[in-house]
Amino acid sequence: MTTDSLTVEAPATLVRTMHIVYGLHTIGLALGAFGAASVVGSFLFGWPSIIAVIVSYIYRGDARGSWLESHFDWAIRTFWIALVIAAVVALVSAPLVLLLGLGLATWFIGLALLGVWAIYRVARGWLRLNAHEPMPKPGA
């Protein structure tokens, strides 16, 4: 164990909690991919992901000072960044629908790319969690 704040060992119960968070996000994404909802819609507005974000906020403080804190932050940021990007896609697409008839295609492409990004973020986080590695800091 080193003195670096992101490499301090985390309690096994918190590691298990983070596995549950990533699992809930994965369920949310899978419901969108294989169900009637979109991947992004299910990720942002489905109960599994909403519960995952709430759990992340509740347990993030318990992970403070450990490498696991970066995973809770990663999961929280993934959700909120996806929500902001989805709103931007909707705002850009709406006028294009009215003016050019292109908005629907823009909307579908934007949300599809956002869905791929969300899947990547959850998969990357879960793989690094399994390796007991912290997530990179924002901007790093």
What percent of the chain has a predicted confidence (pLDDT) above 70? 84
- pTM reported for the whole predicted model: 0.84
129 token code pair:
């969690």
Overall domain count for the chain? 1
Query: Does residue 135 belong to any structural domain of this protein?
Result: no
Structural domain range at position 74: 12-130
The pLDDT tens digits of the residues spanning 95-120 come to: 776 766 665 677 778 888 998 999 99
Point out the least confidently predicted range of 7-16, 90-99, 106-115. Answer: 90-99
Q: How large is the average pLDDT for residues 92-97?
A: 75
Query: Does residue 70 belong to any structural domain of this protein?
Result: yes
Predicted pLDDT at 52: 97
CA torsion, ordered 57, 79, 52, 58, to nearest 10 deg? 0
Query: Does residue 4 belong to any structural domain of this protein?
Result: no
Query: Does residue 6 belong to any structural domain of this protein?
Result: no
Query: Does residue 7 belong to any structural domain of this protein?
Result: no
Nearest of 118, 130, 129, 124 to residue 68 by alpha carbon: 129
